[in-house]
């Protein structure tokens, strides 16, 4: 039996049973970093996010029939609130919230600090997480 720890969605399942919602280069002014100059000055952070949500028959042209993009955007924009030391911490916090949304099967979230190094386009973190909707489908009753 599949368990939550070992079950991941395969590409065919994602292609045939899901819709992919995406945000590209969401640019935010954030207080992020461990160094004094990062704590003293906000810096640009960009977020890329892919969310695979179960494809339910829409039936009506109604927002209630789909995962509202605004819910994902609101979670992503939380990055601009308060201070976070590490991109790893920020990405982990945001991706957990997105993965908990109804019908979410899989999430990919990447953050990038484009101004961190003068000789690089950006430095960033990427994380993937299986959504709770998919995990619950395959939990064991043991």
What gap in Å lies between CA 83 and CA 31, rounded to an integer?
A: 5
CA distance 53 to 55: 6
Give percent of the chain with pLDDT exceeding 70: 89
pLDDT number for residue 96: 97
Domains of the chain: 11-137 (3.30.1130.10)
In angstroms, the CA 4 to CA 42 distance is 38
Q: What is the pLDDT of residues 116-127, one digit of tens each?
A: 999 999 999 999
- Please give the pLDDT value at position 118: 95
Band of pLDDT at residue 4, cut at 50, 70 and 90: very low
Q: What pLDDT sits at residue 141? A: 45
pLDDT of residue 1: 33
48 within 8 A of 23, measured Cβ to Cβ: yes
Residue 22 is encoded by which pair of tokens?
């995406």
Q: Could you give phi then psi for residue 23, rounded to 5 degrees? A: -115, 130
Q: pLDDT for 34-75, tens place per residue? A: 999 999 999 999 999 999 999 877 677 777 778 899 999 999
pLDDT at residue 106 is higher than 50: yes
Q: How many Cβ atoms sit within 10 Å of the Cβ of residue 126?
A: 13
Q: For residue 138, what pLDDT is reported? A: 56
Phi, psi of 78 (to 5 degrees): -65, -20
Question: What local confidence, expressed as pLDDT, does residue 6 receive?
Answer: 52
Helices (H), the chain: 11-17, 36-40, 69-77, 87-99, 132-137
Question: Using 50, 70 and 90 to split pLDDT, how confident is the model at 142?
Answer: very low
Is the per-residue pLDDT at 5 higher than 70?
no
pLDDT tens digits, one per residue of 13-42:
899 989 999 999 999 999 999 999 999 999
């Amino acid at each position: 039996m599949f368990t939550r720890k070992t079950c991941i969605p395969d590409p065919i399942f994602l292609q045939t049973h899901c819709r992919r919602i995406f945000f590209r280069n969401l640019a935010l002014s954030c207080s992020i970093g461990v160094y004094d100059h990062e704590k003293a000055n906000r810096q640009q952070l960009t977020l890329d996010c892919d969310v695979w949500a179960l494809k339910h028959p829409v039936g009506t042209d109604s927002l209630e029939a789909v995962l509202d993009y605004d819910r994902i955007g609101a979670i992503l924009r939380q990055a601009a609130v308060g201070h976070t030391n590490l991109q790893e911490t920020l990405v982990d916090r945001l991706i957990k919230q997105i993965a908990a949304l109804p019908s979410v099967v899989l999430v990919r979230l990447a953050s990038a600090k484009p101004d961190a190094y003068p000789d690089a386009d950006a430095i960033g973190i990427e994380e993937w997480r299986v959504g709770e909707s998919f995990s619950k489908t395959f939990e064991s009753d043991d």
